[in-house]
Structure 1
């Protein structure tokens, strides 16, 4: 099957006979003061390059074989929003400040996020740059960018706009005062808009499937009143994660292809999909939730029971909301879902006290069979900042695994204060 170059990548990983892994490309950045931290939004990988965005205004690509820097481009200001999506041609997008901004006391300002940049991960080439219309109110807290086939879409609370991937031509825009506003998009196979409406002083939400070329809604699902936060972790099949009362997700809601309610799955106090939108406007990412064609997979909270697994992954049927299977973790070795690889689930298992190796495993949802994808050892000092998906990006691409902390910090134990930016694992020779 021929894949469209501007379609969103859905890589199917090959399982090797020998899952033994070894340390591959590593990227440490020097020059940081002790305990100095910087946000590092965005991690993208291809067969050639692993790239990272640093919040202070750079995007850098590193050769996955050598760990040498292949390219760097500087932005005019801070990174404001990133997307996890990558095209089949290896391209992605970020939103940044068009000019460096500071508050009166000299601290970096968090507004002015009005520039979208579409770039090639392999080469670092900026394919195009576009200025968002009337985006003075766009900040790192309300700006969101995503992609679907041929289209880059951005929302910033008071407006939204979409651009063609090939030339950055603006397809449509919605700006100005309105009772209902696009506050974010979920991309991938389709484009869903999360819309916030003010009714009688209370916020209410609706989710719409949007035509990427016109911005016109194809269907609308109205979220129940009283919901405080909504996340959209999957556009096709449509899945919502909603929080009633605060930012803690209380339910997952599955919809059919016409936006009609299929099932509600209570999270209770047992499951934690790790959804968060504190910065960088991410509404479509829940770090411990993966949605497949027929089932979704969510991690449980940590267990304190003796002689039991640290946690587990539960699968739920999208049509009925009923539990399908339980995939056990190990003692002191939590397990988290990462992404789908065809009809298999890729999951990450931390190294534990009694298990010296970390692992990415492939799980068959139909049989519960677990097959090692890559087994690798980590330094004993490697902590949750690179193994916990709420604190790190864990990317599996083209046979390699990349662990990338979302905040990089100078190492107080190192005389050069080196900060780990990316740790790569690859198949043993």
Structure 2
């Protein structure tokens, strides 16, 4: 990004930080299940101090000032047909706006071919019972449930999760992730963290059926999934300053700076957009966009995303879009007398944007659904006055996150979710201001919310971590809200004593979840059935000390977690030389493979 990078040290502790065992050891029984619907978990009383955890590598997201618009909190009633849906100011212009594309590039670098031991409580489920179908496939298991409300396409979220921009192809019910013959994993490859003198962004992590690709200092490297060996390496003209998690046709997009840092310009502007072929590592094209109000000065970007065949990049300086395959300019947003600009896009199943109009200190925000090819808005929803920033956690359906009136508690930075229907009307408003829920949204990015996944007509999110029955260690649950009514459902899946869970993505109608382990266990990947909330373990990582400390050095809301087909990668977003020598090894990424 164009602004100076955040500080290199993350906050102490973290989501599910390792905890000391009690003097008498573990073994407390799981509490009985509460009556349905479950009440949001209460905050724990003060606990004994936890031991010093491994030095985590990800800095905290910067937080911006209060939003300043008071609204009702948890339990806010449904608001169908709320005002504010009208033609937006400053609709995008026609194709052919001033966007400059560089000639296609060959790769500059060397090319290459090609839950815990606790007892699970029974859950009360409203509705008909679902018959689980278990198929024996190639020495493993495919688990299938009966939901037909999902779709599939070639567009993925960087770790095998699929979506469908056109919504026409029905997907197989349930999930597609295979249960390995043995869920006990082992280390695949751990790559040491580079140590440049100044902090460098290494944002970007993609997992396909054959390769894991990771941004590095001044380059992107692809690793094979058999033994973790290097498959290709592509040098970039400058450092990466942003990336999308989405993949279309085995291609993804990155942002990189206008040049390498120098004594004269320590923080170069983030102006370059590029698309890389994840199979070969080839940088297919790179591009810049001219500012409509700044002469020949290129636009500075902070985020990039993909929806179908459209690459869209945006930031406080404006936005632009290109064709994924060849870098052909598609459109740039129009700037009018009201000073409207596209501050960030969200991709995946559709293309959404947060559009800001008016002064920077008191903007008016609009959430729009765009035609990816032309940039024309299909609808525009006006957010409440006094909300300077908002995030988009889903584009189909459109679900917007905001910290209304700075009422979010427990540093989640999100107090409310706004659910829009296909016409851009407010369908439901979900209140999270109680602090009983644990998603996270950085204040200044549109597509960076974590800990919330949308599927089955619901939004799944973790409860805020709280004390369980053990005197030491915390736990939490996976809960959900209905997107039609905005009300909390009876869904509940427990992390287990001393584990905390964190949803990563949907897999059909199932939810892929990472479980942060206690100090003496390895982490887990589980699949949770979206109908029954039954948990199926896909991976359990080693409890051996070196492996466990390497794994838990990555904080779930400040790192990149990618899981697909029995492979798990945990990766850093920043690299820098440590401030003091010694300490645990630091990694660009660690990885595990199940047999």
State whether TM-score is above 0.5: yes
Q: Specify every segment of 5 or more residues in structure 1 that has no aligned partner in the other structure, as ranges.
A: none
Post-superposition Cα deviations, 1:199-219, rounded to whole Å, max 9, x if no partner, equal 696112111111111111110
Find the counterpart in structure 2 of residue 186 from structure 1: 346
Do the aligned partners of residues 175 and 273 (structure 1) sit closer, same or farther apart at CA in structure 2, a change above 3 Å counting?
same
Post-superposition Cα deviations, 1:214-262, rounded to whole Å, max 9, x if no partner, equal 1111101111112232000110011010012458111111111111111
Q: Report the CA distance between 1:37 and its aligned residue.
A: 5.7
CA distance in 1: counterparts of 2:386 and 2:486, whole angstroms:
22
**1:158 equivalenced with 2:317 (yes/no):** yes
Find the counterpart in structure 2 of residue 351 from structure 1: 517
Do the aligned partners of residues 30 and 39 (structure 1) sit closer, same or farther apart at CA in structure 2, a change above 3 Å counting?
closer
- What SS does the aligned partner of 1:99 have? coil
Larger radius of gyration: 2
Aligned mate of 2:282, from 125, 129, 144: 125
Contact in 2 for aligned 1:32/1:419 (Cα 8 Å): no
TM-score (norm 1): 0.87
Q: Report the CA distance between 1:39 and its aligned residue.
A: 3.2
Q: Specify every segment of 5 or more residues in structure 2 that has no aligned partner in the other structure, as ranges.
A: 1-149, 163-174, 407-411
- What SS does the aligned partner of 2:247 have? coil
Aligned mate of 1:10, from 131, 154, 161: 161
**1:285 equivalenced with 2:448 (yes/no):** yes
Aligned mate of 1:303, from 455, 466, 471: 466
Post-superposition Cα deviations, 1:286-308, rounded to whole Å, max 9, x if no partner, equal 22111114111111222135439
Find the counterpart in structure 2 of residue 385 from structure 1: 553
Aligned mate of 1:171, from 316, 330, 333: 330
Do the aligned partners of residues 29 and 358 (structure 1) sit closer, same or farther apart at CA in structure 2, a change above 3 Å counting?
closer
Aligned mate of 2:528, from 341, 348, 363: 363
Post-superposition Cα deviations, 1:67-95, rounded to whole Å, max 9, x if no partner, equal 222222222222222101011x2110001
Contact in 2 for aligned 1:240/1:254 (Cα 8 Å): yes
Do the aligned partners of residues 345 and 71 (structure 1) sit closer, same or farther apart at CA in structure 2, a change above 3 Å counting?
same
Do the aligned partners of residues 203 and 19 (structure 1) sit closer, same or farther apart at CA in structure 2, a change above 3 Å counting?
farther
Contact in 2 for aligned 1:192/1:210 (Cα 8 Å): yes
Aligned mate of 1:76, from 222, 237, 261: 237
Contact in 2 for aligned 1:160/1:175 (Cα 8 Å): no
User: Counterparts of 1:198-347 in structure 2 under 5 Å?
Assistant: 198=358, 202-246=362-406, 248-268=413-433, 269-276=435-442, 282-307=445-470, 310-324=475-489, 325-347=491-513
CA distance in 2: counterparts of 1:151 and 1:272, whole angstroms:
32
Q: Which 10-residue stretch deviates more, 40-49 or 371-380?
A: 371-380
Contact in 2 for aligned 1:351/1:358 (Cα 8 Å): yes
Contact in 2 for aligned 1:337/1:348 (Cα 8 Å): yes
Post-superposition Cα deviations, 1:171-195, rounded to whole Å, max 9, x if no partner, equal 1113656521100111111101110
Post-superposition Cα deviations, 1:25-81, rounded to whole Å, max 9, x if no partner, equal 313237637x98643211111122111113x42211112222222222222222222
Contact in 1 for aligned 2:191/2:587 (Cα 8 Å): yes
More strand by share: 1
User: Counterparts of 1:108-147 in structure 2 under 5 Å?
Assistant: 108-111=266-269, 113-134=270-291, 136=297, 138-139=299-300, 143-147=302-306
User: Counterparts of 1:15-54 in structure 2 under 5 Å?
Assistant: 15-16=178-179, 18-29=181-192, 32=195, 38-54=200-216
Find the counterpart in structure 2 of residue 374 from structure 1: 539
CA distance in 2: counterparts of 1:360 and 1:13, whole angstroms:
14
